[in-house]
Amino acid sequence: ITDVNRELAAKKAEQFDTHLYSDINEMLEDPEMDAIHNCTPNNLHQTINEQILRAGKHLFSEKPLARNSAESAQLVALAAQHPELVAVVNFNYRFNPLVLEMRSRIAAGEIGEVRLAHGAYLQDWLLYDTDYNWRLESEICGISRCVADIGSHWMDMVQFLTGGKIVEVCADTLTVFPFRKKPRRQTETFSESKDDDYELRPIDTEDWSSVLFGMDNGVRGVFYVSEISAGHGCGLKIEIDGSKASLAWNQERADELWVGERNKDNCLLKRNPNSLSPEARRFSYLAKGHPEGWNDAFRNSLANFYLAIRARRDGDAAQAEAALTRSTSLDEAHYIILLTEAIIRSAKERRWVSLK
């Protein structure tokens, strides 16, 4: 572990009984280091991800891959020069067992021809003007906040589930607070500041966005995202409507999958490993009635990353390819950034923007 906050890094290293490096360079020079997780703020992603790849280490990057598409394109090109390395970006919602079950059922044609996709991702952690985090600063997070931070998850999911790509968008955005009160002392994400010692900071990133979209497979849809919707902690919801049936999943009720039909009663499936598809069952570890949720999906994302590394090491090409197909590749993460930039441009110019 290494961090610019040396005191915090030392505490974490002691807590987890792991090695403490003085900086990223010392970590990269360690011949026993096989893989590195980049969990830094957005503005450091491109530089550190590049260092990791050039050092010949496997890469597990938090999203976004980089702060903008110019930076992420460079990383995609660099990774292509190192096909021996496993390089993925952590979009962890892919790895909820019932999301994998949705994907399997859609691919098997159980809902018929996919026609529509819709949903939302709502949070309330920036509801007040006293709520503050580095993600509010465009020089760190990039030109987008809400869309890039949580809308990216929704876009990744709809493409993962349907097998298509969003190719056109028409968006609106809203920034509620043109200024926010930044505490002079550091605060943690999702924590409420009660410090009266603050400075007013101008805000140029969005609190909310709604997006109409079209996909290259003919699917049409809409989603909206917000970080100022009271009562919502991590409200990611997605529904896929087909010619035979619909499937819907709610992250805050992650162990349930809603199935809607016209001529039969709708049903709410509870996660049961014994009745899941093989792909979903692989990442479902607990018996029915024992809830699995956000932290389990995150663990599954990491486990799949190391599964790909082991498969590569052992010469199991099929296993490695299956694992890499589940994870978000650098190409896919780069495309999410392109979509985010298109959404911001659409809202600014008040028009449809095409990525075809």
Instruction: Say if residues 109 and 282 touch (Cβ distance below 8 Å).
Output: no
State which residues form the domain around 48: 6-92+299-328
pLDDT of residue 339: 99
Is it the case that residue 24 has pLDDT exceeding 90? yes
State the Cα angle at 24 between 23 and 29, rounded to 5°: 105
Domains: count for the chain? 1
Where residue 81 sits, what CATH number does that domain have?
3.40.50.720
Mean pLDDT score of the chain: 96
In a domain, 201, yes or no: no
pLDDT of residue 104: 98
pLDDT band at 267 (very low <50, low <70, confident <90, very high): very high
Structure token pair of residue 152: 């990216």
Is it the case that residue 92 has pLDDT exceeding 90? yes
Measured from the Cβ of residue 188, the count of other Cβ atoms closer than 10 Å reads: 7
Measured from the Cβ of residue 273, the count of other Cβ atoms closer than 10 Å reads: 16
Mean pLDDT of 38-65: 98
Query: Rounded to the nearest 5°, which phi and psi values hold at 256?
Result: -125, 145
In a domain, 260, yes or no: no
Using a pLDDT cut of 70, give the percent of the chain over it: 97
In a domain, 55, yes or no: yes
pLDDT band at 323 (very low <50, low <70, confident <90, very high): very high
Instruction: Say if residues 24 and 2 touch (Cβ distance below 8 Å).
Output: yes
State the Cα angle at 150 between 209 and 108, rounded to 5°: 105
For the stretch 176-227, pLDDT in tens is 999 999 998 766 565 555 557 899 999 999 999 999 999 999 999 999 999 9
Structure token pair of residue 24: 């990223």
In a domain, 102, yes or no: no
In a domain, 25, yes or no: yes
For the stretch 72-88, pLDDT in tens is 999 999 999 999 999 99
In a domain, 118, yes or no: no
Instruction: Calculate the CA dihedral of residues 239, 242, 245, 248 and round it to 10 degrees.
Output: -10
pLDDT of residue 197: 84
DSSP state of 16: T
Mean pLDDT of 160-171: 99
